[in-house]
C-alpha cells in the first residue's frame, strides 16, 4: 500500500474529487500540504476556467435586518448601526453605472428587511431585467418561503446566494438564536435549486466554536447540494455583537479550504471574498492563486458603504465603483489572471 505522503493526498483529492473524513482532517489540520494543494488547485482551475476571473457587481441595498445572528454586525439588536435603504431608482442607477463599467452580473444583497416585500423585490428585479436583458441578476436576501423565491425567479432573477453558514445543527444553534435553524436554511437551498436558480452556498471559516468536524460536515453538505457557487471567507469579529470577544478566522485555513473546494468541485464559481481581503492586504490575490475565480467589487453608493458593516475594518468602503473595479483589475492581473466582462455562468459540462 502506498503511504499517504503530502502529494499523494492532494493528488488523490484531485483524481477522486473526494477523500475520507480522516484524510480531509489531515489535510485541513496541518500546513504540510499547502504548497502542493495550492499548485494543484490552480492547475484544476486553469483546466476549467483558464485565467478568467468573473466580476460581480455587489449592491448592498439595505442594512435593516429582522434577524439576530450572533456574529453579524447588522443584526437587529445592534442599536449602534445606522440603518439605510436604497430606493429602487438608486439601485437602478448602481446597475447602470456598473453596466457601463463592464459588469454583466448584479448581486443585490441585504439584511432580511421586511420593507422589501415580495412585490417591491419583484418590481426591482423586473426593472433591472428590462434595462439589462443580457445580465444575470443575483439575489442574496436570506430565507424566504418557496413562493417568494418562485416570484423573484419569474420576475427575472437567475441566481441566489445563501450561505448555509454551518451544516451542523448544534454548531448552527451556537451561532444563531432559536428561531433560526440549519434545517430550514438547507431546505431553502434545495427549494432554490428546484426552482431553477443557479445557487451559491458557503460558510464562514473560523466562526466561533467551529471544529474540523464541522468543516468536514460543511464539505459533505456541499457534496449533496452541488451548488454552482461556493462563497467562503474568514469570520471577522464585530464589537457590537455577542461574539465581540471571539477570535477572527485565519487566512491560512481559509486559503486551504478554497483549494480543497476547487479540487472537490472543479466546476464551481469560487469568490475571493472581501472578508479574505480584509484579514490580509493580499488576501484576495492569494485566494485567486488557491483556486478562486470570482471577485465582487462594490457598486453601492459610497455614502452607504461603511454602514453595511458586517464585521470590523471592512475594506473597499471609500472608493467609487470605477475605482473599485480598477483596483481589482490590477490585483487580479498581479496574481496572474484576467478579469473578463461576461456573465460568467458555471461550466458544468465536465463536472
**Binders in 52-91 for ligand SAM, by CB under 6 A:** 71-72
Give me the residues paired with residue 134 across strands.
none
Spatial distance between the Cα atoms of 278 and 315, rounded to a whole number of angstroms? 6
Q: How far is the CB of 345 from ligand FES (least distance, A)?
A: 27
Which helix (DSSP H) or strand (DSSP E) does residue 251 occupy? helix 251-264
Give me the residues paired with residue 43 across strands.
none
Q: Are 287 and 272 in contact (CB under 8 A)?
A: yes
> Does residue 283 interact with ligand FES by CB under 6 A?
no
Of 60 and 218, which CB lies nearer to ligand FES in the complex structure?
60
State the binding string over 124-143 for ligand SAM (x if CB under 6 A, else -).
----------------xxx-
Q: How far is the CB of 254 from ligand SAM (least distance, A)?
A: 10
Select the residue interacting with ligand SAM from 103, 160, 235, 265 (CB under 6 A): 235
Q: Are 255 and 286 in contact (CB under 8 A)?
A: yes
Spatial distance between the Cα atoms of 261 and 243, rounded to a whole number of angstroms? 27
> Does residue 236 interact with ligand SAM by CB under 6 A?
yes
Q: How far is the CB of 70 from ligand FES (least distance, A)?
A: 9
> Does residue 284 interact with ligand SAM by CB under 6 A?
no
> Does residue 192 interact with ligand SAM by CB under 6 A?
no
Q: Which of 87, 80, 82 is nearest to 63 (CA)?
A: 82
Tell me which of ligand SAM, ligand FES, none is bound by residue 75, counting a contact when its beta carbon lies within the kind-specific cut-off of 5 to 8 angstroms: ligand FES
Cell of 248: 477572527
Q: Which of 22, 109, 27, 48 is nearest to 74 (CA)?
A: 109
State the binding string over 195-234 for ligand SAM (x if CB under 6 A, else -).
---------x----------------------------x-
Neighbour count for residue 314 (Cβ, 10 Å): 19
Of 208 and 291, which CB lies nearer to ligand SAM in the complex structure?
208
Beta carbons within 8 Å of 100's beta carbon, 6+ residues apart: none
Q: How far is the CB of 67 from ligand FES (least distance, A)?
A: 4
Q: Are 29 and 250 in contact (CB under 8 A)?
A: no
Give me the residues paired with residue 108 across strands.
59, 139
> Does residue 312 interact with ligand FES by CB under 6 A?
no
Q: Are 324 and 241 in contact (CB under 8 A)?
A: no
Spatial distance between the Cα atoms of 86 and 98, rounded to a whole number of angstroms? 16
**Binders in 55-94 for ligand FES, by CB under 6 A:** 65, 67, 69, 72, 74-75
Q: How is residue 247 annotated by DSSP?
A: P
Q: How is residue 249 annotated by DSSP?
A: P
CA 236 vs CA 34, 84, 277: distances in Å: 23, 22, 11
Select the residue interacting with ligand SAM from 49, 61, 311, 337 (CB under 6 A): 311
Of 75 and 325, which CB lies nearer to ligand FES in the complex structure?
75
Q: How far is the CB of 178 from ligand SAM (least distance, A)?
A: 17
Of 163 and 262, which CB lies nearer to ligand FES in the complex structure?
163
Q: What is the CA radius of gyration of the chain?
A: 19
Of 41 and 175, which CB lies nearer to ligand SAM in the complex structure?
175
> Does residue 314 interact with ligand FES by CB under 6 A?
no
The site for ligand SAM (CB under 6 A) is made up of 71-72, 109, 111-112, 140-142, 162-163, 165, 204, 233, 235-236, 238, 275, 310-311
The site for ligand FES (CB under 6 A) is made up of 65, 67, 69, 72, 74-75, 111-112
Amino acid at each position: 500500500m502506498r503511504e499517504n505522503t503530502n502529494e499523494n493526498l492532494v493528488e488523490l483529492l484531485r483524481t477522486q474529487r473526494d477523500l475520507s473524513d480522516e484524510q480531509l482532517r489531515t489535510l485541513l489540520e496541518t500546513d504540510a500540504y499547502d504548497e502542493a494543494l495550492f499548485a494543484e488547485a490552480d492547475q484544476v482551475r486553469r483546466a476549467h476556467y483558464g485565467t478568467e476571473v468573473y466580476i460581480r457587481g455587489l449592491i448592498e441595498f439595505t442594512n435593516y435586518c429582522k434577524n439576530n445572528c450572533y456574529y453579524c454586525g447588522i443584526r437587529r439588536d445592534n442599536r449602534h448601526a445606522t440603518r439605510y435603504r436604497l430606493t429602487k431608482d438608486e439601485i437602478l442607477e448602481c446597475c447602470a453605472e456598473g453596466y457601463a463599467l463592464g459588469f454583466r452580473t448584479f448581486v443585490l444583497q441585504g439584511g432580511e428587511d421586511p420593507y422589501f416585500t415580495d412585490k417591491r423585490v419583484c418590481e426591482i428585479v423586473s426593472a433591472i431585467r428590462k434595462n439589462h436583458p443580457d445580465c444575470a441578476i443575483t439575489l442574496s436576501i436570506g430565507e424566504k418561503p418557496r413562493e417568494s423565491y418562485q416570484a423573484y425567479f419569474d420576475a427575472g432573477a437567475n441566481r441566489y446566494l445563501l450561505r448555509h453558514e454551518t451544516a451542523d445543527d448544534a454548531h448552527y444553534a451556537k451561532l444563531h438564536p432559536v428561531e433560526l435553524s440549519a434545517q430550514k436554511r438547507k431546505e431553502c437551498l434545495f427549494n432554490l435549486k428546484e426552482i431553477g436558480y443557479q445557487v451559491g452556498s458557503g460558510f464562514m471559516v473560523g466562526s466561533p466554536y467551529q471544529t474540523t468536524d464541522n468543516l468536514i460536515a460543511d464539505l459533505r453538505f456541499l457534496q449533496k447540494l452541488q451548488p454552482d457557487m461556493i462563497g467562503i471567507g474568514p469570520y471577522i469579529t464585530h464589537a457590537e455583537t455577542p461574539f465581540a470577544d471571539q477570535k477572527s478566522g485565519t487566512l491560512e485555513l481559509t486559503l486551504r479550504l478554497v483549494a480543497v473546494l476547487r479540487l472537490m468541485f472543479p466546476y464551481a464559481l469560487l469568490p475571493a471574498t472581501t472578508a479574505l481581503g480584509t484579514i490580509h492586504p493580499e488576501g484576495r490575490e492569494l485566494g485567486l492563486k488557491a483556486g478562486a475565480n470570482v471577485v465582487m467589487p462594490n457598486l453601492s453608493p459610497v455614502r452607504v458603504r461603511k454602514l453595511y458593516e458586517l464585521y470590523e475594518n471592512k475594506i473597499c468602503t471609500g472608493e467609487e465603483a470605477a475605482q473599485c473595479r480598477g483596483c481589482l483589475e490590477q490585483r487580479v492581473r498581479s496574481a496572474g489572471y484576467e478579469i473578463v466582462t461576461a456573465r460568467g455562468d458555471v461550466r458544468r459540462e465536465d463536472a
